[in-house]
A and B are shown apart, each in its own frame.
Chain A
């Protein structure tokens, strides 16, 4: 079974990369390199260390931003899931934030927070936080009441109810919020490198493009997607590790 799914994964990867290679060979555009060219550029970048230097820059706002968003987001989400007043006051802000196209705000942020790390972290946070907050709050509100009642019938304190029942019960939805949040954070980090100051991977993308080195540009894009996927896999592993029993597999099996 394991082999079959691995095989299918490889097969679908082969189809997609093969299509890319063919499209690059036609070529569909002067600005579209082949898969092999891009991978070679990626290899060169990795070997000469440019890629690591670039990620050193990119990951800083991303990781800081995501950590802040996760901690603050979950805390605020818990609070507004538990407290009606807090929810009334603050959740509209996050709904507005979630719905709002914050990309448009970036120029403003630059003006207020400058071109440094701060405004990039800020961009990551405003992209990542709303979905984390809203998912957490929703999940907390939807905790099955029979579980909290059960806890209370065994005299759990409020903190115990939160830590031992509400958070684990809400964890699948919290984690899916984190997933969407991290992915939005990645979008924010790249956006800020494309729109605020080109550093890190954003710089490789824009600079390669400006000198028409499209293979390097695609290599950089490829690497960031790989990184995002790895990041999310790690998150999934953490979730599996923490709340094993929540994983119930295919409903059909």
Chain B
């Protein structure tokens, strides 16, 4: 049977690498179909209710709360987000008590804000939420917000186009996952073979991409969902992946134990995992076997 993949957003430049990996997996005999959901929570919900097999996202709180045995099998990208502000602010401490624009309550940027508060020992002012980094950039440029946290590619755009008007505040490094692939443990175990092909393809793509970011645009199937994007977007593919690799967005090892450990710490600190990070069992959240096997090859 086909495996059913739940994407957390519509196919765009950020998913090009993933689709390249899918093509590689297909060449090795993986049969799949994908559905794009409007947000991560829906993808999680879809996997939870068994309507999808593999989902996109970091479902740590769902893992702890729901009775379903969800496990992560591969880290797709890291939480590389950047506080961008107008010239009023020049370092993180300046944001104490100031309002900030984030993606969504309980989402990745929210967790970054929590950790910043934690590490710096201050509180932000009112948090408001606008989903989509590009929408937050618009809000920033239109002067409707003074500070926000946005993703790598949008940060680069702002720096390139309006670098004189906005500051990117220096911030500590984050190794935790932004997007990961997860599935129901029972399903993983009964589809061991498919999962292995998939993880192999992902790992090889991620490794090749770290060597040469332009393979993504080269390998992109012109008739696939990415190849069909408007030319304006495709033209920027190489730039996007070059920046992303330089910025460390994609881990060549698919996260693995190191990434899992980083997640435990990060999400506990961010308040999305309950309990002491040391006492949390990584095996309850990650299923390492396919990744280990792929690494061994």
Query: Is A110 a contact partner of B135 (Cβ separation < 8 A)?
Result: yes
Q: A196-B130, A210-B104, A211-B106 are in contact. Are A111 and B61 (CB under 8 A)?
A: no
Q: A30-B48, A197-B128 are in contact. Are A210 and B41 (CB under 8 A)?
A: yes
Query: Is A210 a contact partner of B106 (Cβ separation < 8 A)?
Result: yes
Contacts of A28 in B (CB 8 A): 49
Query: Is A31 a contact partner of B48 (Cβ separation < 8 A)?
Result: yes
A116 within 8 A of B: yes
For this complex, 30 residue pairs linking A to B, each with C-beta atoms less than 8 Å apart, are: A28-B49, A29-B50, A30-B48, A30-B66, A30-B67, A31-B49, A31-B66, A110-B139, A111-B138, A111-B142, A114-B142, A115-B128, A115-B139, A116-B144, A195-B131, A197-B128, A197-B130, A209-B42, A210-B41, A210-B61, A210-B106, A210-B107, A211-B61, A211-B62, A211-B65, A211-B106, A212-B44, A212-B61, A212-B62, A213-B65
Tell me the residues in window 114-163 of chain B with beta carbons closer than 8 Å to chain A beta carbons.
128-131, 135, 138-139, 142, 144-145
B36 within 8 A of A: no
Bound complex: CA of A131 vs CA of B135, how far in Å?
A: 30
Query: What is the interface of chain B, defined by CB distance below 8 A to chain A?
Result: 39-42, 44-45, 48-50, 59, 61-62, 65-68, 101, 104-107, 128-131, 135, 138-139, 142, 144-145
Bound complex: CA of A28 vs CA of B45, how far in Å?
A: 13
CB-based nearest A residue for B48: A30
Size class of the A contact interface (CB-based, 8 Å)? 20 to 34
Query: Is B129 a contact partner of A198 (Cβ separation < 8 A)?
Result: yes
Contacts of B66 in A (CB 8 A): 30-31, 212
Query: Is A114 a contact partner of B106 (Cβ separation < 8 A)?
Result: no
Contacts of A110 in B (CB 8 A): 130, 135, 138-139
A123 to chain B, nearest CB (A): 14
A37 to chain B, nearest CB (A): 13
Instruction: Tell which of B44, B45, B130 has the most Cβ of chain A within 10 Å.
Output: B45
Bound complex: CA of A111 vs CA of B42, how far in Å?
A: 25
Tell me the residues in window 188-244 of chain A with beta carbons closer than 8 Å to chain B beta carbons.
195-198, 203, 206-207, 209-213
Cβ contact of A30, chosen from B40, B49, B101, B104, cutoff 8 A: B49
A18 within 8 A of B: no
Bound complex: CA of A210 vs CA of B107, how far in Å?
A: 8
Bound complex: CA of A24 vs CA of B43, how far in Å?
A: 20
For the complex with contacts A209-B45, A210-B41, 19 further pairs of A-B residues with Cβ separation under 8 Å are A29-B49, A29-B50, A30-B66, A107-B135, A110-B135, A110-B138, A111-B138, A111-B142, A114-B139, A115-B128, A115-B144, A115-B145, A196-B130, A198-B104, A198-B105, A207-B105, A210-B104, A210-B106, A211-B65
Query: Is B61 a contact partner of A115 (Cβ separation < 8 A)?
Result: no
